[in-house]
A and B are shown apart, each in its own frame.
Chain A
Amino acid sequence: EVQLVESGGGLVQPGGSLRLSCAASGFTFSSYSMNWLRQAPGKGLEWVSYISSSSSSINYADSVKGRFTISRDNAKNSLYLQMNSLRDEDTAVYYCARPRMGSMDVWGQGTTVTVSS
């Protein structure tokens, strides 16, 4: 079964850091680019970051550029999101998802990040 499982969410103070992980299984992880997306409470979906299969191409939404870093370890079938200088507005459910033909065909269940003092 194709599956993505996020972890690492939690409560963090403004200005703090958090590292999210996404474990992939059921497909050849190293052959696929990957995305992080988020959804603030009661709000819509926002794409956060993209990484190509070999990590040679990376992109970020303007809202997180300079604060978040995406990475992957193909040997461990894992995707990561290092989040620094967190702000209240970063509070959201964070999803990893597999892009395919311009859409995202596989999503994790999400991990919740709450930024609050």
Chain B
Amino acid sequence: EIVLTQSPGTLSLSPGERATLSCRASQSLSSSYLAWYQQKPGQAPRLLIYGASSRATGIPDRFSGSGSGTDFTLTISRLEPEDFAVYYCQQYGSSSWTFGQGTKVEIK
């Protein structure tokens, strides 16, 4: 089973700053099957990025994904107030899905 490790656990930033979130896989995985989600308290997760770098429908271009192999990154170019949330990476393989433990982006 592929384990995803996200870092940092918490990111304290101010609106307008750049956020860089990391997701490291325990073994190399297909970029086609790496996704990122945003979750706010009391809400379901929302798909942000699929295929490591493709934005989902309606996602602002301040969100971008990159990476390959075992190292993947979600970047938020300029934090808006509504971006403070928990972010999860997720991988797919053999009809099963695994998630990282999440990174909380909080207001500094």
A residues lining the B interface (CB < 8 Å): 35, 37, 44-47, 50, 57, 59, 61, 95, 99-105, 107-110
Q: Which residue of the partner chain, among A57, A95, A103, contacts B35 with CB atoms under 8 Å?
A: A103
Question: How far is B56's CA from A35's CA once the two chains are assembled, in angstroms?
Answer: 19
Contact call A104/B47, Cβ cutoff below 8 A? yes
Contact call B96/A50, Cβ cutoff below 8 A? yes
Additional 13 contacts, C-beta under 8 A, given A45-B45, A95-B44: A45-B37, A47-B99, A50-B95, A101-B50, A101-B51, A102-B33, A103-B51, A103-B56, A104-B45, A105-B47, A105-B57, A107-B45, A109-B44
Known: A35-B97, A46-B99. A102 touches B92 (CB 8 A): yes
**Ranked 10 nearest A-B pairs via Cβ:** A103-B35, A102-B33, A102-B92, A47-B97, A103-B50, A107-B44, A59-B95, A45-B99, A50-B95, A44-B102
Question: How far is B51's CA from A100's CA once the two chains are assembled, in angstroms?
Answer: 11
Tell me the B84-108 residues at the A interface (CB within 8 Å): 88, 90-92, 94-102
Residue of A nearest to B93 (CB): A102
Tell me the B38-82 residues at the A interface (CB within 8 Å): 39, 43-47, 50-51, 56-57
Contact call B44/A110, Cβ cutoff below 8 A? yes
Q: Which residues of B contact A37 (CB under 8 A)?
A: 97
Interface check B27, CB cutoff 8 A: no
Question: How far is B46's CA from A33's CA once the two chains are assembled, in angstroms?
Answer: 18
Interface check B32, CB cutoff 8 A: yes
Contact call A105/B101, Cβ cutoff below 8 A? no
Question: How far is B51's CA from A108's CA once the two chains are assembled, in angstroms?
Answer: 22
Residue of B nearest to A101 (CB): B50
Q: Which residue of the partner chain, among A59, A104, A108, contacts B96 with CB atoms under 8 Å?
A: A59
Contact call B92/A103, Cβ cutoff below 8 A? yes
Q: Which residues of A contact B95 (CB under 8 A)?
A: 50, 57, 59
Residue of A nearest to B101 (CB): A44
Q: Report the minimum CB–CB distance from A7 to chain B (whole Å).
A: 15
Listed residue (A37, A46, A103, A109) with the most chain B CB atoms within 10 angstroms of its CB? A103
10 CB < 8 A contacts A-B: A44-B88, A61-B96, A102-B32, A102-B34, A103-B56, A103-B90, A103-B92, A105-B47, A107-B45, A109-B43
